Structure 1
Amino acid sequence: MRNRGLYLRHDYTAGPTIALPTEGPIIWRMWRGAPTSGGRTPFPRTRPRRRSR
């Protein structure tokens, strides 16, 4: 969790969290898009994962 502040200070954007199925830490997705004339590219859309059969 301490790393999150560092990344946010360096122009990263926090995305949706990932909760592990076991007891583990919450994972914060971070994104710093490519620079563009209007800022940075936005955080990619999250698509639901398909379950394999």
Structure 2
Amino acid sequence: MGSNQLAEISHEPGKSVGIEIYPPVAGESWTIELEEFISVLNRAIRDLDSHRSE
């Protein structure tokens, strides 16, 4: 997906996991393989959960 930030995932206490998606610059679009996107999201959720339990 490169180094551009596509989204920010949060998991606040007492809330479900949320995602804020940022639009591309200058009206461009992103083409992302679905499996890769799902994999990145799942990894981010695991990372958030592991930081919450520290």
TM value normalised by structure 2: 0.30
Larger strand proportion of the pair: 1
Larger helix proportion of the pair: 2
